[in-house]
Amino acid sequence: MKIQRSLHRWAIPVVTIFSLSLVAQQTAPAQQVVATEAPEVELVMPPPESVQADISEIDLDAIVRVEVDTKQPNYRVPWNVGGMGSGNGTGFLIGKNRFLTNAHVVSNGRLIYIKKVSDPRPYKAKVVNIAHDCDLALLELESEEDYENSFENVEPLYIGGIPKLNTTVIAVGYPIGGERISVTRGVVSRVDFRTYSHSGVDNHLTIQVDAAINPGNSGGPVLQSNQVVGVAFQGYSGSVAQNTGYMIPVPVVERFLKDVEDGEYDFYVDIATSTLGILNPAQRQALGLPNNSVGVMVCEPDAAGSAGGILKPKDVLLSIDGHTIFSDGFIDIDGERVDMNEVIERKFAGDTVSLEVWRNQQQIDIEVELKRFIPYTIQANQYNKQPQFVLFAGLQFQPVDRSVMTSHSISDLQTRYYYTYFSSDEIYREKPQVIVLTAVLPDSVNTHLRSYVHKVVESINGKKIRLLQDVYDAFYKPNSEPGRDDFHVIRLVGEGRPLVLKRDEAAVAHDRIKAKYNVGFTSHIEEPEILELGDLIKQTDEEPAAEEPEKNQ
Amino acid sequence: MRFKSAISATALWCALFLVNPVSAEPTPETSIIRVNATLQEYSFIKPWEKGAPSPRRGLGALISENQVLTTAEMVVNATYIELEHPSSGAKVPAKIVARDYEANLALLEPAIKNARVFEDVVPMERTNAVKAGDKVEVWQIEDNGDGVTTEVEVLRVNVGRYFLSSSNFLVYQIKGSLQARVNSFTLPVIQDGKLAGMLLSYNSKEQTANILPMPIIEAFLADVKDGEYQGFPSLGIGFAQTLDEALREFAGISESDGGIFIRKIAKDSSADRGGLKKGDIIMTIDGNAIDSRGNYEDPVYGKLSFSHIVRGNAKVGDSVKIDVIREGEPKSLDIALVRKEPTDYLIDPYMFDRGPRFLILGGLIFQELTRPYLESWGDSWTTRAPFKLVYAAANPGFPQ
């Protein structure tokens, strides 16, 4: 959810007002909601606790232990295989040979086994769909026969709705502390938007419970009245906060299941627009708005987002799909106050959203077609990916993303700028990939270059570096700075001293370094997703690239 | 180390004075003035406020009839300064005649007349003769007025940091054990009874200290004397060493020559105005060959950073002759030396004795962006202060 992130960036306290209100869900109309603050809303009493805590109709065989062997990519030494590990989580049967679990349980998984309560046999499973932006995954047993023999008679779990505040929920799973299935009980403490720590950048609806949720619970069902009301997924360690576990609520689960009905996961869509609550009467007057607490002002629509080129700074959003937007960014749905993003949260790629917009003292209607916002993924944790790099004569080049920044502990100011403002300052137009010299494998050919690590590469051999592929091409195709074809010349952003390698020495050193440092392969390059932005990215222009070095001299 | 009782010292000195004042051997009791300052830092977060007053007590050397030399750090952000007789306790409010935070020197004199403050105190002579290996004395005063001298050894002479992180000057590095006393800030350093420098900092773990040396003091005093204080010039370049043979070959410099590669040129600096360019290799400055690490062979001190040629041997308005290799060709430039005031920078690198300019309008506080404002976020300000401001401070002119 881009809007949430932007609000944090601008430190506008809109998001903090949300804490105790409950969210009504269109997807779960049966679930009524309790008004905790507004007395004019009709109060619906929750069912008695004995009913809430009832899981007698649950077939425990539907709640499975998921065991995973993983291979963690090594972003620091990208040609290495990476670390092997293993872990376990929980999953549950939701339909014919479909088990739901968390994405983080099976991420980087190489081998997945599913075990049920009443059966010692592990069954080999595989990932059908995985959604890193909402931490959910669907698994199936590899063998149809295994499924028929062991799960055909197991009743799948039914997915319910949003549980009310202060009602009892039961978390079931295979957490740390023993081998067998575990049941813990607590109440719903809070319903709120929060960051999903698996990707680290996505915010969705989250339900906080005080039932113990521990490592191993992940992917397990949280139940109420014999129905699933959430998927246990994250929490705080006891040293930070007590009894604070989080589950993914039903609307997020159902959106995921609907998205993958066509067999593919297409990601959340995002309006990618930062907004500002306008509660200040003077500001309202300046915009020509009545003092009626309606409307939020657009700060910056990201060019690569759904509203890029459609919404403009200083536009005031008055309503979204017919719901009045109040000046704190909230809307009313079915009598409940929810974040305006909740409307977009429920939509899919290609859907439209209708906005009433106040622009230049006039009200206009704007339709925005929703799509995924790609540039922000540079700051997301990456999974199931082989680190990309080019190694030449001991110089290691990698495209900047969260994994590269953290694994190399990069603190260089310029590199941090490109990373942090990649989306909002539209760095991707010039540099769809920000290529950094991440390491130097010391050798006589490069021994004086080690102090230049962590800096962004501007050009190599006269070729402007916009993609990792450019690095490869600059070294391996005939490129050179004018008159300097006896050297490889690497120019870094903001650094007047070029890094130079003598071509004849570099060629010899490259093989020597490969052998000395046990380098298995010297490049891995994939076409980056960011290129889907098409026209927003400046097309390669060889002419200025050739002139660039002269400017620096 | 020498301890004397106050009575005998005073008596001895008085006797000598009566007989022959010129031949008197200077001692701490007869040369040092205590400097007491009350400091109040300016708040860069609440620019209308000053912080809690704090005392700082140090020493100064009487260098003329009524002028006392001390470090600028001693009186930084001072709200009130007084001079105190080393033993009698007679005090007089002082004013600052001149001060240079880059060279970390300040010259004080009484704001009103009080003859008792300088009673029996004789202006010090000065010496420029200190070299590595020499023995020098650090002078202190006990609470009761007795002098204490500690002999220390000069290990080496090089270029190092003074008070501001951004400016480097000549320093004497000494080794010896020193103890804290009431007035321990800024201790005079003496050779053969003559003032040779001022103690800048002391590392008690390693028992080493840095001394602000007389050549810099002399340049400061000469600058003050001519009426208009101009400060110390700088060249304004960022450079890379040229130890990398591939770089040397690429830049067209031979294996045996030294030279430093200019990476950056500060806007409006001496280098910028004089026509030095990014990518030039500086080979000599005023005839001194610069080696590939950026040092030259000083006739007195041996290997020293080239910056001393500009800072220590020249003054604002002088020219230095710089030979460079530019695009493989030798070229000679005369660079007129200038000094950039902190206010010449878009974002002031330091700001003392005043707070930031600010304006409050409807409860919104507007103020100029300065380095001290960012440093208000503490030691790790580069990661804790708002990133865009940190980035802007490092890239003046951003955003375009």
Asked if A497's CB is within 8 angstroms of B247's CB, the reply is: yes
Residue A264 has pLDDT above 80, yes or no: yes
Q: Do domains B2-118 and B237-336 have the same CATH topology?
A: no
Q: How many domains is chain A partitioned into structurally?
A: 4
Residue A379 in any domain: the answer is no
Of A420, A484, A500, the CB nearest to B247: A500
Is A69 considered catalytic here?
A: no
Of the three residues A109, A125, A150, the one that is the final residue of a domain is A150
Does A304 lie in the same domain as A255? Answer: no
Q: Which of residues 315-334 of B touch A (CB under 8 A)?
A: 327
Residue A427 has pLDDT above 90, yes or no: yes
Is B135 in contact with B151 (CB distance < 8 Å)? yes
Tokens of B322: 């710089």
Compute how many other C-beta atoms are within 10 angstroms of the C-beta atom of residue A66: 29
Does A52 lie in the same domain as A174? Answer: yes
Asked if A448's CB is within 8 angstroms of B244's CB, the reply is: yes
Asked if B391's CB is within 8 angstroms of A552's CB, the reply is: no
- The torsion region of residue A446 among left (phi > 0), alpha (psi -120 to 50) and beta comes to alpha
The CATH architecture annotation of domain B2-118 reads: Beta Barrel (2.40)
B327 CB neighbours in chain A (<8 A) are 553
Of the three residues A309, A339, A369, the one that is the final residue of a domain is A369
| Contact partners, residue B188, CB within 8 Å, separation at least 6 | B28, B31, B32, B59, B60, B61, B124, B138, B139, B195, B197, B198, B199
Q: Three-state DSSP class for B107?
A: strand
Q: How far apart are CA B243 and CA A368, in angstroms?
A: 58
Asked if A416's CB is within 8 angstroms of B387's CB, the reply is: yes
A552 CB neighbours in chain B (<8 A) are 278-279
Residue A516 in any domain: the answer is yes
pLDDT digits (tens, 9 = 90+) for A362-375: 999 999 999 999 99
Is residue B43 exposed (0-12), middle (13-18) or buried (19+ Cβ within 10 Å)? Answer: middle
Residue A193, pLDDT score:
86
Q: Which of residues 329-358 of B touch A (CB under 8 A)?
A: none
Does A120 lie in the same domain as A170? Answer: no
Does A41 lie in the same domain as A188? Answer: yes
Lowest model confidence (mean pLDDT) among A32-46, A511-525, B93-107? A32-46
Residues of A with CB under 8 A from a CB of B: 411, 413, 416-417, 420-421, 445, 448-449, 484, 487, 489, 494-498, 500-502, 505, 552-553
pLDDT digits (tens, 9 = 90+) for A200-224: 999 999 999 999 999 999 999 999 9
Does A24 lie in the same domain as A89? Answer: no
| Contact partners, residue B346, CB within 8 Å, separation at least 6 | B396, B397
SS (H, E, C) A339-364: ECHHHHHCCCCCCEEEEEEEECCEEE
Residue of B nearest to A419 (CA): B387
Asked if B394's CB is within 8 angstroms of A448's CB, the reply is: no
Asked if A484's CB is within 8 angstroms of B250's CB, the reply is: yes
pLDDT digits (tens, 9 = 90+) for A55-89: 999 999 999 999 999 999 999 999 998 899 999 99
Compute how many other C-beta atoms are within 10 angstroms of the C-beta atom of residue A96: 11
Asked if B246's CB is within 8 angstroms of A445's CB, the reply is: yes
Asked if A416's CB is within 8 angstroms of B246's CB, the reply is: no
Does A507 lie in the same domain as A490? Answer: yes
Asked if B391's CB is within 8 angstroms of A417's CB, the reply is: yes
B383 CB neighbours in chain A (<8 A) are 411
Structural domain that includes position A53: 2-57+158-262
Residue B181, pLDDT score:
83
Does B252 touch chain A if contact means CB atoms closer than 8 Å? no
Lowest model confidence (mean pLDDT) among A3-7, A280-284, A331-335? A3-7
The CATH number of residue A411's host domain is: 3.20.190.20
User: What's the pLDDT band for A11 if we cut at 50, 70, 90?
Assistant: very low
Asked if A496's CB is within 8 angstroms of B278's CB, the reply is: yes
A491 CB neighbours in chain B (<8 A) are none
Does A292 lie in the same domain as A339? Answer: yes
The CATH number of residue A35's host domain is: 2.40.10.10
Does A162 lie in the same domain as A145? Answer: no
Does A255 lie in the same domain as A278? Answer: no
**Shortest alpha-carbon distance between residue B43 and chain A (Å):** 23
Is A104 considered catalytic here?
A: yes
What one-character-per-residue DSSP string does B159-202 give?
Answer: EEE-SSTT-EEEEEEEE------SS-BS-EEEETTEEEEEEEEE
Is residue A295 exposed (0-12), middle (13-18) or buried (19+ Cβ within 10 Å)? Answer: buried
- Domain extents in chain B: 2-118, 135-225, 237-336, 342-394
Of B243, B249, B262, the CB nearest to A496: B262
Does A28 lie in the same domain as A68? Answer: no
| Mean pLDDT, 10 residues at a time, chain B of 400 residues | 39 41 73 95 93 94 95 96 94 96 96 91 94 94 91 95 89 92 88 95 92 96 92 94 94 89 93 96 96 95 94 92 94 95 88 93 93 94 93 75
Is A218 considered catalytic here?
A: yes
Residue A98 in any domain: the answer is yes
Does A75 lie in the same domain as A130? Answer: yes
A6, A218, A319, A523: the catalytic one is A218
The CATH number of residue A142's host domain is: 2.40.10.120
Asked if A496's CB is within 8 angstroms of B238's CB, the reply is: yes
Over chain A, what is the mean pLDDT? 88
The CATH number of residue A360's host domain is: 2.30.42.10
Does A538 lie in the same domain as A414? Answer: yes
Asked if B390's CB is within 8 angstroms of A497's CB, the reply is: no
Q: Check: CATH 3.20.20.70 for B237-336?
A: no
Specify the CATH number of the domain B135-225.
2.40.10.10
Of the three residues A320, A336, A369, the one that is the final residue of a domain is A369
Of A495, A500, A501, the CB nearest to B263: A495
Residue A6, pLDDT score:
34
pLDDT digits (tens, 9 = 90+) for A182-197: 999 999 999 888 899 9
Does B392 touch chain A if contact means CB atoms closer than 8 Å? no
Residue B397, pLDDT score:
64
A494 CB neighbours in chain B (<8 A) are 395
Of A416, A501, A553, the CB nearest to B246: A501
Residue of A nearest to B386 (CA): A9
Residue A547 has pLDDT above 90, yes or no: no
Residue A32 in any domain: the answer is yes
Residue A14 has pLDDT above 50, yes or no: no
Is B59 in contact with B32 (CB distance < 8 Å)? yes
Of B246, B250, B387, the CB nearest to A420: B387
Of A411, A495, A502, the CB nearest to B246: A502
Residue of B nearest to A487 (CA): B250
H or E segment and range at residue B154? strand B147-161
Of B262, B264, B390, the CB nearest to A413: B390
| Contact partners, residue B277, CB within 8 Å, separation at least 6 | A553, B262, B265, B326
User: What's the pLDDT band for A540 if we cut at 50, 70, 90?
Assistant: low
Tokens of B186: 């800024």
Degrees, nearest 5: CA angle B253-B243-B235: 75
Helix, strand, coil content of chain A in percent (nearest 5): 25, 30, 45
* Residue with tokens 């420029």, as numbered in its chain: B128
